[in-house]
Amino acid sequence: MAKPTGFLEFQRELPEDRPIDERLKDWEPIHLHMPDGRLQNQAARCMDCGTPFCHTGKVINNMASGCPINNLIPEWNDLVYQGLWREAYDRLNKTNNFPEFTGLVCPAPCEAACTLGIIDPAVTIKSIEYAIIDKAFAEGWVTPDVPETRTGKKVAVIGSGPSGLACADQLNTVGHEVTVFERADRIGGLLMYGIPNMKLDKEIIQRRLDVMAEAGIIFRPNTEIGSDIPAEQLKEEFDAIVICTGATRPRDLPAEGRSAQGIHYAMDFLHGNTKQLLDGGGTVDVTAVPISAQGKDVIVIGGGDTGTDCVATSLRQGCNSLVQFEIMPQPPAERAPDNPWPQWPKVYKLDYGQEEAAAVYGEDPRTYCILTKRFVKDEDGNLAGVDTVEIEWVSGENGRPQLREVPGTEKRWPAQLVLLAMGFLGPESPVLTQLDVEQDERSNAKAQYGKFKTSVDGVFAAGDARRGQSLVVWAINEGRGAARAVDKWLMGETDLP
């Protein structure tokens, strides 16, 4: 595909980011656009590799390898290289309902599995994907997909994150009347309130939602199923129900002093900040947000994307100092022997938040192999500090790694704000309980992948509510799969992919 010698002629090049000292002063997107010519050069690097692992999504060693929604990556790379942007969009639209989301927030397992990545830096698949959909919106190619006829069947989708939106979009195209219920005041779920604006501009989300509404999808924000509307009522009013509520139950840290005032879950911090940004028309009053980092010594406990987003948000709110605790060791600079291509590369990298913190404080804010022992309160019950100890990982029973505290490494860190970003345990239970849906040992809705049908007739589950905490691209995969299962259950057959 693309130019046969492109990978020899062109080096990997990403779109530039706004200068750190500039972007820390606002909440605007950090990425800049790359000119078409340079993007075409990047697409030219796509090799005629015979077996394109990039679009054959698999799970290897419990991590995604390749694209979970099977994007036709070599095809649209070739089309972009030729300057056939409209045709590239048509290819992209076949597999991905929301390339503008994955093009910005997906960690790109496609690039991790790129054949070129064996010997050279991988093709910039993610930035090319975003460029295609951005041009498609600019040129007016993205239009409402209004079905010619309606089936008369009504489907309720509970949750408006990526799985719920993908499911609704697919079901609507085949003529079902779809209503999406969301408990928050805005549609979008994790996309809207779980990811900061500088990483995923909310205007981009709203742009897509407007197209979906014009296509006939009904959105019901400010409506919590199980509270505002009993879940049983949906069974009476709809022919099928799809649970896409996500895995929103956060992992806690029950250390001594946990009741101190000033310890919060990461999502509560991020949600409050983004809501005020949107309500305030693009500005944040850090003295009025529900949880503010202004003037405080902040500790983020946990890594991953959510931890990074907490770091970036704290910096913009004007924190006094910032550190991030990770219990695992620092990853190596290059792939370890037991982490070969095309597995997801477990290597050290600076994400945007850590890059910003390093620019402000002179070093990566992350401290590795550190264990929180207790939270220290002042006389009024407010958080004053965090006591930690360094750890080392040793081989335990059956060869499983276990942590061991290192004597003499105890330390007290000043802190008036701690943000817990340690992942999620599973879905919240009211909807599952009210519908009497069977749950697995991890509390997720029990439904077989590919069928997505729960133990209750007419009730399906998809996304993080079914598989546990995962990637946006997996959520889209599951939403599309659930839509196919629902359509077949309703109609006896389906033409959905």
Quick: pLDDT tens for 326-380.
999 999 999 999 999 999 999 999 999 999 999 999 999 999 999 999 999 999 9
Asked whether the predicted pLDDT for residue 27 surpasses 80, the reply is: yes
Residue 219 sits in the same domain as residue 351:
no
Asked whether the predicted pLDDT for residue 1 surpasses 80, the reply is: no
Q: Taking residues 136-150, what's their average pLDDT?
A: 97
Residue 281 sits in the same domain as residue 325:
yes
Share of the chain above pLDDT 90, in %: 94
Residue type, 367: T
Residue 131 sits in the same domain as residue 12:
yes
Note down the domain range covering 38. Answer: 6-139
- What per-residue confidence (pLDDT) applies to 203? 97
**Token digits for 328?**
């695992």
Tell which of 139, 169, 185 closes a domain. Answer: 139
Asked if residue 300 belongs to a domain, the reply is: yes
- What per-residue confidence (pLDDT) applies to 48? 81
Q: Taking residues 275-290, what's their average pLDDT?
A: 95
Residue 400 sits in the same domain as residue 264:
yes
pLDDT class for 493, splitting at 50, 70, 90? Answer: very high
d(CA 387, CA 296): 17
Residue 135 sits in the same domain as residue 173:
no
d(CA 266, CA 311): 10
**Token digits for 8?**
């020899």
CATH of residue 478: 3.50.50.60
Q: Taking residues 227-236, what's their average pLDDT?
A: 95
d(CA 33, CA 10): 19
Residue 109 sits in the same domain as residue 166:
no
Q: Which residues, listed in sequence order, are joined to residue 412 by a DSSP beta bridge? A: 387
Asked if residue 496 belongs to a domain, the reply is: no
3-state secondary structure (DSSP) of residue 475: helix
d(CA 182, CA 495): 28
- What per-residue confidence (pLDDT) applies to 56? 87
Tell which of 77, 106, 139 closes a domain. Answer: 139
Asked if residue 497 belongs to a domain, the reply is: no
CA atoms within 13 A on the CB side of 402: 7
Asked if residue 348 belongs to a domain, the reply is: yes
Beta strand pairing status for 411-414 and 383-395? antiparallel
Asked whether the predicted pLDDT for residue 148 surpasses 70, the reply is: yes
Residue 290 sits in the same domain as residue 396:
yes
Asked whether the predicted pLDDT for residue 3 surpasses 90, the reply is: no
CATH of residue 94: 1.10.1060.10
Q: Which residues, listed in sequence order, are joined to residue 117 by a DSSP beta bridge? A: none
Q: How far is CA 335 from CA 86, 109, 280, 332, 340, in A?
A: 37, 15, 44, 7, 7
In 293-439, which ranges are E strands? 297-301, 321-325, 366-367, 370-377, 383-395, 401-405, 411-414, 417-420, 424-426
Asked whether the predicted pLDDT for residue 289 surpasses 70, the reply is: yes
Q: Taking residues 408-430, what's their average pLDDT?
A: 96
Look up the pTM and report it. 0.96
Residue 405 sits in the same domain as residue 281:
yes
**Token digits for 401?**
């790694």
Chain segment 294-338, per-residue pLDDT in tens: 999 999 999 899 999 999 999 999 999 999 999 999 999 999 999
Q: How far is CA 59 from CA 3, 139, 175, 318, 344, in A?
A: 30, 36, 33, 40, 9
Residue 168 sits in the same domain as residue 231:
yes
Question: Are the beta carbons of 249 and 442 closer than 8 angstroms?
Answer: no
Q: Who's near 27: CB < 8 A, 6+ residues apart? A: 196, 197, 198, 277, 282, 283, 284, 316
Asked if residue 265 belongs to a domain, the reply is: yes
Q: Taking residues 31-49, what's their average pLDDT?
A: 95
- What per-residue confidence (pLDDT) applies to 397? 80
Asked if residue 144 belongs to a domain, the reply is: no
Question: Are the beta carbons of 3 and 44 closer than 8 angstroms?
Answer: yes
Nearest to 241 by CA among 497, 469, 452, 470: 452
Q: How many domains does the chain have?
A: 3
- What per-residue confidence (pLDDT) applies to 124? 97
Asked whether the predicted pLDDT for residue 50 surpasses 90, the reply is: no
Tell which of 422, 449, 474 closes a domain. Answer: 422
Asked if residue 187 belongs to a domain, the reply is: yes
d(CA 93, CA 95): 6
Share of the chain above pLDDT 70, in %: 100
pLDDT class for 398, splitting at 50, 70, 90? Answer: confident
- What per-residue confidence (pLDDT) applies to 381? 97
Asked whether the predicted pLDDT for residue 80 surpasses 70, the reply is: yes
> How many angstroms from the chain centroid is the CA of residue 154?
29
Residue 414 sits in the same domain as residue 437:
no
Asked if residue 149 belongs to a domain, the reply is: no
Residue 372 sits in the same domain as residue 439:
no
Q: Taking residues 429-435, what's their average pLDDT?
A: 93
pLDDT class for 111, splitting at 50, 70, 90? Answer: very high
Residue 339 sits in the same domain as residue 396:
yes
